[in-house]
Chains A and B, each alone.
Chain A
Amino acid sequence: MNAGQARNRRLAATAAAVALLAGAAACSSSGGSGGGGTAAASPSAGFKPGVLSRADAGQTISVLLPPWGDMAQPQLAKFTAATGIKVNLEQMAWDSIHDKVVSAEAAGVAPADVTEVDWSWVGQFGAAGWYTPLNKWLPASLIGGSPVAANFSVSGQQIAMPYNIDFRSTIVNMTLLKKAGITSPPTTWAQLLTDAQQIKARGVLASPVGVPLSVTEGTSTPWYALIKSAGGSVLDSSGNPAFSSSTSAGAQALQLEATLYKDGLIPQGEISLTDQQTSNLFAAGQIAIELSYSPSALSAYTTPATSKVAKDDIVLAPIPGTDGTTTGTFGLPEGLGIPKQSTHQAAAAMFIDWWEQLPQLLASYNNPNMGNVPPLTSALSYLNSHNDLIDGSAVMAILPSVSPLFTGGAPTWYPQFSTDVATMIQNVVEGKSSVSAALSQLASETQSLKAQS
């Protein structure tokens, strides 16, 4: 081998190492997926759900939450003072928490003692058996006091406790509607179309309705919300598609979205916008009706620093239904759960119990960096009675109609189903597929996912 060949081989080896790193680093694991068979710890005889004791004083628990779970240190210090348990709160991006939980559980270790559990993760996390059922660790009255707790129930096991109460509703800029001569938010799909056409015809806005249409989760949820508002469901009680028939709520909801887009009532650019970007359009006054979004956005819309329409009359309304009667909407709450691998189960349970108490729920709502609408009816009533809940009467009016999107928790195949739904919606509004053909294909894909699971 001459010097040139040697150098050539060294370079090739370096290149190979770089390539290996790129591939291997993209997906590596320390072994087989563990955690599934781990038995849940039970409370000791002395543990009393709902009572903050000093039995676990001296322990330190780790808590892993997204930025809106960043409880202030002085508040956390009160928990330490009451229980002697120190809290190490780690903040991480929402989707990174999901990946960290999956990676850690696959490696058979606890990602933290308390972690974020999103409603959409419940099916998979529940089936994998990664989280401790909280039924014996928290008072039944606490679980029963939340209208969205059922979102975290898998076969009767409460795998997390909600710490906010996000649900889908319609947000309307009445100032813009009034400019078009409209005096109240639309209550039916027909009225929604008429109002939008009137706003467009009067030259108030070119495309007044905001609905994200990119292939993201935010595109799927408005379709689910319209189905719920029309009294339908996405899946039937057996978990089969309930949208196959042309008269189903799913078919009608999809047709409505297609009509809104075809008639130019939704900005054409929505095809590549996310729900957050659609929200930005509302805050910029470029749309007047945000068909399906979180009531927590009201805070940003009514704050001059984050909204150009802060001085406008922004109202929260039920999502329009087919006949003017809103039969329901669904919750997208986030919860606190305890991984079974955690070695501080009792301390973690006490922490969740403490978080659900009124002072913490108020702090979590009033802290501008958190803004979590409380998950307990009692806390919501308290806020509303003190006029501290933005558009409180509307929130309280919609609340009874909030129910889980999937009874028994999201199915294990929900993440892929959600992507398939968003892809289908985009194809239909762009005219690449008819409503019936698209729904037929989605039904077939859903059955396939169900069979694989």
Chain B
Amino acid sequence: MGTNGRRRGTLVLLLAPAFLIIGVLVLYPLGVSLWNSVHEDNALVFTHQFTGGRNYTLVLHDPAFLQAAMNTLGYLVVVTLGALVLGLGMAFFLHNVARFRAVALAIIVLPWAVPGIVTGALWSFIFNPVNGLLNGVLQWLGVINSPHIWLEGRLTGIFFISLTLIWQITPICAVIFLAGLESIPRELYEEASVEGASAFDTLRLITLPLLRPSLAIGLLQASVLAIGIFDQIVVLAGYAPGSISVVMQLYLYAFRDFNFGLGMAASMIVTAGTLLVSLVYIKGVYREVSY
């Protein structure tokens, strides 16, 4: 065996674990889900007949799924915007702070480590309309006279539930953005300063364009989390149709109605939607940068 053959063998050996893991954890479940999504797979019917695209048609014509899709779109928009603005703000703050930076970073990252169900429980104390923290503080400050029901109404409910997710995802976005900021050479700013560029020009012409890879990754993280929102909604709003997300709806198909075929079809649709959003970020936001 020549040098090239040995090198190829080593490459295959090194890549094999990664392919194995992706195959077992991603491709195999995906294939099984796809297979079941085109079959009648219901624990109460005891059949496993091929039904083609029937499950997909049923899901796409189900008012509950369509409403869940609209709700999820709401979570997606609010969460990505919130995570982008607050994440950038945090990243700029951490980038410019010199003292206690490690401590500040540790504190800021804490919410990211909190599980979704705990986040929901925590915020339920804050949003509790009878004796919650938010009402208490606002009444104490004289901003409101009587307790407010924060999660009442579809749009306000989506907004306030999104806040809990923003609280959770913003730290990791901030860290990703910070890594991008740190990698921009200082010489570029020094040259811009010599050329007389304003702070706004520097931000617009240097910082944001060079941050685009980090922005794409951060936004992708926030979007995947927003599309997959589940725990926070269950804790804060139960299964109210005005709050339910697509992932909750596919859970209901599978685990409430025992209709796994419908659940699989819904999960394929959600996967396709998530891919579409990812492609938008890759095409619209991501740019390769070199210094």
A interface, CB within 8 angstroms of B:
4, 7-8, 11-12, 15-33, 35-37, 98-99, 102, 105-106, 124, 127-128, 214-216, 267-274, 277, 281, 284, 286, 412, 415-416, 419, 422-423, 426, 430, 453
Interface string of B168-193 (1 = CB under 8 A from A): 00000000000000000000000000
Interface-lining segment among B2-10, B40-48, B74-82, B197-205: B40-48
Q: Is the interface of A mostly helix, strand, loop or mixed?
A: helix
* Contacting residues of chain B (4-46) with chain A, CB-CB under 8 angstroms: 22, 25-26, 29-30, 32-33, 36, 39, 41-44, 46
Judge if B241 is at the interface, Cβ distance under 8 Å.
yes
Judge if B129 is at the interface, Cβ distance under 8 Å.
yes
Whether A419 contacts B239 in the complex (CB less than 8 A), given A128-B258, A272-B151, comes out as: yes
Shortest B244–chain A CB gap in Å is 9
Leading 4 A-B pairs by shortest Cβ distance: A23-B271, A269-B129, A27-B267, A215-B240
Whether A26 contacts B220 in the complex (CB less than 8 A), given A16-B278, A21-B26, A33-B42, comes out as: no
Shortest B47–chain A CB gap in Å is 9
* Chain A residues whose C-beta falls within 8 Å of the C-beta of B288 in the assembled complex: 4, 7-8
* Contacting residues of chain B (256-290) with chain A, CB-CB under 8 angstroms: 256-258, 260, 263-264, 266-268, 270-272, 274-275, 277-279, 281-282, 286, 288
Judge if B149 is at the interface, Cβ distance under 8 Å.
yes
Judge if B247 is at the interface, Cβ distance under 8 Å.
yes
Smallest CB-CB separation from B44: which chain A residue? A127
Question: Is the CB–CB distance between A27 and B128 below 8 Å?
Answer: no
Smallest CB-CB separation from B213: which chain A residue? A11
A193 CA to B43 CA, complexed, in Å: 46
* Chain B residues whose C-beta falls within 8 Å of the C-beta of A27 in the assembled complex: 33, 250-251, 254, 260, 263-264, 266-267
Question: Is the CB–CB distance between A286 and B131 below 8 Å?
Answer: yes
Judge if B93 is at the interface, Cβ distance under 8 Å.
no
Shortest A389–chain B CB gap in Å is 32
A24 CA to B220 CA, complexed, in Å: 17
Question: Is the CB–CB distance between B237 and A215 below 8 Å?
Answer: yes
A17 CA to B25 CA, complexed, in Å: 10
| Most chain B beta-carbon contacts within 10 A, residue among A16, A29, A37 | A29
* Chain B residues whose C-beta falls within 8 Å of the C-beta of A17 in the assembled complex: 22, 26
Report the number of A-B residue pairs with Cβ-Cβ less than 8 Å: 177
Interface CB pairs A-B, < 8 A, 21: A8-B288, A15-B220, A15-B281, A15-B282, A18-B220, A19-B271, A22-B274, A26-B247, A27-B33, A28-B32, A29-B254, A37-B46, A98-B255, A124-B258, A214-B237, A215-B239, A215-B241, A269-B149, A272-B129, A423-B240, A426-B240
Smallest CB-CB separation from B42: which chain A residue? A33
Question: Is the CB–CB distance between A18 and B224 below 8 Å?
Answer: yes
A33 CA to B44 CA, complexed, in Å: 9
* Chain A residues whose C-beta falls within 8 Å of the C-beta of B220 in the assembled complex: 15, 18
* Chain A residues whose C-beta falls within 8 Å of the C-beta of B150 in the assembled complex: 272
Question: Is the CB–CB distance between B42 and A216 below 8 Å?
Answer: no
Judge if B97 is at the interface, Cβ distance under 8 Å.
no
Question: Is the CB–CB distance between A35 and B237 below 8 Å?
Answer: no
| Most chain B beta-carbon contacts within 10 A, residue among A29, A216, A272, A426 | A272
Interface string of B95-134 (1 = CB under 8 A from A): 0000000000000000000000000000010011111000
Question: Is the CB–CB distance between B278 and A15 below 8 Å?
Answer: yes
* Chain B residues whose C-beta falls within 8 Å of the C-beta of A274 in the assembled complex: 238
A106 CA to B261 CA, complexed, in Å: 12
* Chain B residues whose C-beta falls within 8 Å of the C-beta of A422 in the assembled complex: 238-239
Smallest CB-CB separation from A29: which chain B residue? B260
Category for how many chain B residues contact A = 35 or more
Question: Is the CB–CB distance between A269 and B147 below 8 Å?
Answer: yes
Shortest A29–chain B CB gap in Å is 6
A180 CA to B174 CA, complexed, in Å: 56
A16 CA to B22 CA, complexed, in Å: 12
Whether A24 contacts B255 in the complex (CB less than 8 A), given A15-B278, A19-B275, comes out as: no
* Chain A residues whose C-beta falls within 8 Å of the C-beta of B90 in the assembled complex: none
Question: Is the CB–CB distance between B131 and A33 below 8 Å?
Answer: no
Question: Is the CB–CB distance between A32 and B256 below 8 Å?
Answer: no
| Most chain B beta-carbon contacts within 10 A, residue among A24, A215, A268, A415 | A24
| Most chain A beta-carbon contacts within 10 A, residue among B43, B128, B250, B286 | B43
Shortest A110–chain B CB gap in Å is 15
A99 CA to B274 CA, complexed, in Å: 25
Judge if B83 is at the interface, Cβ distance under 8 Å.
no
* Chain B residues whose C-beta falls within 8 Å of the C-beta of A453 in the assembled complex: 44
Question: Is the CB–CB distance between B267 and A16 below 8 Å?
Answer: no
A105 CA to B131 CA, complexed, in Å: 42
Question: Is the CB–CB distance between B278 and A36 below 8 Å?
Answer: no
| Most chain B beta-carbon contacts within 10 A, residue among A4, A28, A31, A271 | A28
Identify A33's interface contact among B41, B152, B217, B228, CB under 8 A. B41
Question: Is the CB–CB distance between B152 and A416 below 8 Å?
Answer: no
* Chain B residues whose C-beta falls within 8 Å of the C-beta of A426 in the assembled complex: 240
